Amino acid sequence: MQPLIIIPNLKKSPSRTYRIALGSLKFAVGLLVFLSITFLAARIWLMRSTGGPGKPPVGYSSMSEIYSALVLGALPLIERQPPIPPEIDYQSSLTYARVGNLELKLDLYRPSKSAKSHRRPLVVLIHGGGWKSGQREDYRPHALKVAKAGYVVASLSYRLSGVAKFPAAVRDVNAALQFLADHSDEYGIDPQKIVLMGGSAGGHLSMLSGYSKDPAFRPDSDPSFKPVRALDQKSVPLKIAAIFNFYGPCDLTSDFAKKVDVVRSFMGVDYEEDPELYRKASPIYEINPSSPPTLIVHGTIDDIVPVQQSDELANALKQAQVPVRYERMRGWPHTMDLAGPMFQYMSGVILEELTKHVGRPD
């Protein structure tokens, strides 16, 4: 028979004081978390109720707070592909040029009741996407907003960096502008009242096309480029009346730009291989007193294109005595106009600036 061995329980149960202290700590932590979430939710919800016509919506302290606002439903997003309303005449996939087997296209938005004999100012939209992605339909919300106000709007595609390197994209923009001017009778456009508008990479291309007169940016500098001509083959003079740049980079020679893969992919070479090419691709070095008036919109917590790019751009325009309006949006990120409140505010700013630089369409 085996002896019975009794092992004493040496583990003491927590004292009453310890249990009270631990419970109090858990309660305090739980209360702190609850109050923090409540405060954040209240703050975000309050932000949602601010802003309006002529009044910018309150920004956020960080990207984390923006993500929280999205999760809580306190920051509504716009509809990316709204339907075309009956009051807008929409022409899709108009070919403005050919390069080899590739056709370059644009979409046109016009007020349906507008007679083509009535020449209206033209707004040309250039999409972003780091020069490597994106499509002309991305700007449909802006296109419809501007067209409903009575302007003609064109939204164009251009060769992305995976297809062709700099300066192909800016040649494409210039070819589209000339196509629209040459067909101004057909589309009811005033070719002396053209506004270029783009975001991010599209903002960069808008500025480069509007500021630079470099002959290398002309479509005819590339023998393989075949513009679509008007029936009379005449080249109609055009004028860029203003540039609307939303959070686009203006200096590709800056330290931030030289380190970014999308910039190197767009340029086709590293900065050290051809610094002069990077300078040529930087709109800020093309500014002069005859440059078009410019609207700049940029958020202070942009983590893709630093707001300092637009700070320097605004200063360069002021030094050259070029009219500039700089909407430096505190607490807003890149592509801020996807947020409903910011889209509404920016739409108001856009229409104000259009009236100032090209007049009312009617």
Are 311 and 278 found together in one domain?
yes
The yes-or-no verdict on residue 50 having pLDDT over 60 is no
The yes-or-no verdict on residue 236 having pLDDT over 90 is yes
Are 197 and 341 found together in one domain?
yes
Residue 3, in any domain of the structure: no
Are 122 and 210 found together in one domain?
yes
Percent of the chain clearing pLDDT 90 (strictly above) = 81
What was the pLDDT predicted at 151?
A: 98
State the pLDDT confidence band at 115, using cuts at 50, 70 and 90.
confident
State the pLDDT confidence band at 49, using cuts at 50, 70 and 90.
very low
- What's the pLDDT tens digit per position in 249-283? 999 999 999 989 999 999 999 999 999 999 999 99
What was the pLDDT predicted at 148?
A: 97
Which residues share a beta bridge with 98? 103, 226
Are 25 and 162 found together in one domain?
no
Q: Under a CB-based contact definition with an 8 Å cutoff, are residues 203 and 245 in contact?
A: yes
Residue 79, in any domain of the structure: no
The yes-or-no verdict on residue 44 having pLDDT over 80 is no
Are 130 and 185 found together in one domain?
yes
136 closest CA partner among 81, 57, 76: 81
Q: Under a CB-based contact definition with an 8 Å cutoff, are residues 244 and 206 in contact?
A: yes
What was the pLDDT predicted at 27?
A: 73
252 closest CA partner among 298, 313, 303, 295: 313
Residue 342, classified by CB atoms within 10 Å of its CB into exposed (0-12), middle (13-18) or buried (19+), is: buried
Residue 6, in any domain of the structure: no
Residue 295, in any domain of the structure: yes
172 closest CA partner among 232, 228, 116: 228
Runs of H (alpha helix) within the chain: 16-48, 63-72, 140-148, 168-182, 184-187, 201-211, 255-258, 261-267, 275-280, 307-319, 340-358
97 closest CA partner among 184, 166, 159: 159
Residue 5, in any domain of the structure: no
Residue 187, in any domain of the structure: yes
- How much is the mean pLDDT over the chain? 91
What was the pLDDT predicted at 55?
A: 85
How far is it, in rounded angstroms, from Cα 110 to Cα 189? Answer: 10
Number of domains composing the chain: 2
Residue 279, in any domain of the structure: yes
Domain that holds residue 50: 18-72
- List C-alpha distances in Å: 224 to 97, 98, 102, 140: 11, 8, 11, 30
The yes-or-no verdict on residue 239 having pLDDT over 80 is yes
Are 33 and 118 found together in one domain?
no
Are 166 and 56 found together in one domain?
no
What was the pLDDT predicted at 38?
A: 52
Residue 152: its H or E element: strand 152-156
What was the pLDDT predicted at 91?
A: 97
Are 51 and 137 found together in one domain?
no
State the pLDDT confidence band at 125, using cuts at 50, 70 and 90.
very high
- What's the pLDDT tens digit per position in 169-179? 999 999 999 99
Are 67 and 142 found together in one domain?
no
Are 46 and 127 found together in one domain?
no
Are 48 and 174 found together in one domain?
no
- Pick the residue with more confidence: 32 or 39? 32
State the pLDDT confidence band at 34, using cuts at 50, 70 and 90.
low
What was the pLDDT predicted at 41?
A: 53
State the pLDDT confidence band at 318, using cuts at 50, 70 and 90.
very high
What was the pLDDT predicted at 18?
A: 66
- Pick the residue with more confidence: 338 or 31? 338
241: Cβ contacts below 8 Å, ≥ 6 apart: 121, 192, 193, 194, 195, 292, 293, 357, 358
What was the pLDDT predicted at 117?
A: 77
Residue 77, in any domain of the structure: no
How far is it, in rounded angstroms, from Cα 67 to Cα 195? Answer: 34
Domain with residue 233: its CATH number is 3.40.50.1820
Predicted TM-score (pTM) of the model is 0.87
Are 193 and 329 found together in one domain?
yes
Q: What angle do CA 82, 161, 281 make, to 5 degrees?
A: 105
